[in-house]
Amino acid sequence: MQKRKLGNSKLEVSTIGLGCMGMSFGYGPAGEKSEMIRVIRTAVEQGVTFFDTAEVYGPFVNEELVGEALEPFKGEVVIATKFGFNIQNGKMSGLNSHPDNIRKVAEESLKRLRIEVIDLFYQHRVDTNVPIEEVAGTVLDLIKEGKVKHFGLSEAGASTIRKAHAVQPVTALQSEYSLWTRQHELEIIPTIEELGIGLVAFSPLGKGFLAGKIDETTKFAEGDIRNVLPRYTEEARMANKALLDLLQQFAEKRNATPAQIALAWVLAQKPWIVPIPGTTKIHRLTENNKAAFIQLTADELQEIESASAHIKVIGTRYTEAMEKSTGI
Give 162-206 pLDDT, tens digit per residue.
Answer: 999 999 999 999 999 999 999 999 999 999 999 999 999 999 999
Count: domains in the chain: 1
Give a yes or no: residue 234 inside a domain.
no
pTM above 0.85, yes or no: yes
Give a yes or no: residue 305 inside a domain.
no
Give 115-136 pLDDT, tens digit per residue.
Answer: 999 999 999 999 999 999 999 9
Of the residues 27, 57, 122, 177, only one is catalytic, namely 57
Give 234-252 pLDDT, tens digit per residue.
Answer: 999 999 999 999 999 999 9
Give a yes or no: residue 224 inside a domain.
no
Give a yes or no: residue 257 inside a domain.
no
We report the CATH number of the domain holding residue 106 as: 3.20.20.100
Active site residue 57: yes
pLDDT of amino acid 320: 84
Compute the distance between CA of residue 163 and CA of residue 160 in angstroms, rounded to an integer. 5
Give a yes or no: residue 304 inside a domain.
no
Give 269-325 pLDDT, tens digit per residue.
Answer: 999 999 999 999 999 999 999 999 999 999 999 999 999 999 999 999 998 888 766
Give a yes or no: residue 249 inside a domain.
no
Give a yes or no: residue 41 inside a domain.
yes
3-state secondary structure the chain: CCEEECCCCCCEEECCCEECHHHCCCECCCCCHHHHHHHHHHHHHCCCCEEECCCCCCCCHHHHHHHHHHHHHCCCCEEEEEECEEEECCEEEEECCCHHHHHHHHHHHHHHHCCCCEEEEEECCCCCCCCHHHHHHHHHHHHHCCCEEEEEEECCCHHHHHHHHHHCCEEEEEEECECCECHHHCCHHHHHHHHCCEEEEECCCCCCHHHCCCCCCCCCCCCEHHHCCHHHCHHHHHHCHHHHHHHHHHHHHCCCCHHHHHHHHHHHHCCCEEECCECCCHHHHHHHHHHHHCCCCHHHHHHHHHHHCCCCCCCCCCCHHHHHHCCC
Domain that holds residue 93: 3-209+270-294
Residue 39: pLDDT over 70: yes
Give 148-169 pLDDT, tens digit per residue.
Answer: 999 999 999 999 999 999 999 9
The residue type of 32 is E
Give a yes or no: residue 222 inside a domain.
no
Residue 326: pLDDT over 60: no
